[in-house]
Amino acid sequence: MASGTPQRLERDAYRQWHSSALDKGARKRTHTPSATPNVDALNTVSKKSCPPPADTSHPPASALHLQAIDHFATLSESVVALIEHHDPLVSSPANIKLLQTCAKPLMDRLDNAYLNAVVQELQSRIDALEVERATLVRQMEEVKQQSSDEVQKLRKELEEEKQKSICCICMDKARDTVLIPCMHSQFCLSCIIKHQKANGSACPTCRAKLEGFSWLRP
């Protein structure tokens, strides 16, 4: 009976400590649901070394028993710390609100990144359209210049043809008379008649004596 008394006392002390630790963890979860996870405490628990050696005054069996109690206490503290870390994080509305608050900057950055990508895409399309517009404007100017050159060329040819078709004396009426026998035809009938009256029957161009003329009706 005397040898079993220290063991019963140790068991009773452990049971009392274990119950107190669990009650303490429960009170923390009940009264402080929005508490943030204690990361430093977790790191401290995870880095705990082996418990110090038992008091050498106890017998070897009692020392091993105390080491087992101390080790189990460490594990219990780890469990309580994990519960305090995970349980409020999952079930507490305050912590959910905290997560949403922490996530908002990330969502804002994501939205800004998406908007920036859309703006860059639209800007690229605008730049491409500007290049296309500039190309079309340049091509239109080239076509206008070519058309203007063609118009000038046609006007010049038309003027030359017109010069060929009007009388070289009055520069007004159409050429409609062929002189015989030299066959010159740069004159209108009115100018030939006036020329014959004023200068005799000679060709205004080659001065050959005229035998007559032929009138080309329009």
Q: For the chain, what are the domain ranges?
A: 5-91, 104-163, 177-215
Q: Model pTM?
A: 0.35
Length of the chain: 218
List, for residues 128-152, the tens digit of each pLDDT value. Answer: 999 999 999 999 999 999 999 899 9
List, for residues 96-120, the tens digit of each pLDDT value. Answer: 677 667 777 877 787 788 888 888 9
d(CA 203, CA 186): 10
Lowest mean pLDDT among 72-86, 90-104, 142-156, 175-189: 72-86
pLDDT of residue 15: 56
pLDDT of 73 > 50? The answer is: yes
Average pLDDT in the chain: 71
Are 30 and 88 in contact, with CB atoms under 8 Å apart?
A: no
Mean local confidence (pLDDT), 51-60 = 45
- Output the CA–CA distances (angstroms, integers) from residue 102 to 1, 20, 96, 106, 114, in the order listed: 61, 35, 10, 8, 20
For domain 177-215, give its CATH number from 3.40.50.1000, 3.30.40.10, 3.40.50.2030, 3.40.109.10: 3.30.40.10
